[in-house]
Amino acid sequence: MTPELKSAFHAEMAAARHDILAGRLDSGMRHLGTAHVLGQYHVLPHCWTHWMMLRVAYKRRRYADVCGQAVRIILGAFGSLIGIVPRGNTGGSDVGMFKSMPIDPGLKALIKRDRRPGQIDE
């Protein structure tokens, strides 16, 4: 992970944690979604975002989402390891697990500098 991408990822995770601890779960999930997009090509960051999403689902008592995130931790780790992930997917249980989504141009630029050619849409 480039230092720039790593910094952006950690900033989103910190903002998510701050919002979640303050009870602003929707805002926390938005930050986790952004962190997910930034970190999904890297095993540990990818799994960390899903772990945090699982914790939010548990706080909300949405047990189907807890199960969905548990599955995403396992599949996400494998996908990151082999470099096959649904581009731009925000990682929440409300989004199809294999659905690619548009990526914000600023985030796309950060990711593109971190990836090999062909791993991110031009």
pLDDT in tens, 46-56: 999 999 999 99
**120: in domain:** no
Domains contained in the chain, number: 1
Query: What are the residues whose beta carbons fall under 8 Å from the beta carbon of 104, sequence distance 6 or more?
Result: 37
- Structural domain including 18 reads 3-114
Q: Which alpha helices (DSSP H) does the chain contain, by range? A: 3-21, 25-39, 43-59, 63-82, 105-114
Selected residue with higher pLDDT from 27 and 1? 27
Residue from 72, 73, 71, 91 nearest 28 by CA:
91
**122: in domain:** no
pLDDT tens digit sequence for 98-107 = 999 999 999 9
**In the structure encoding, which two tokens stand for residue 11, read together?**
């900033």
**62: in domain:** yes
Position 119 confidence tier, pLDDT thresholds 50, 70, 90: low
Return d(Cα 58, Cα 51) in angstroms, integer.
Answer: 11
Contact by Cβ (8 Å): 37, 120: no
Return d(Cα 29, Cα 19) in angstroms, integer.
Answer: 9
**119: in domain:** no
The mean predicted confidence, pLDDT, of the chain is 92
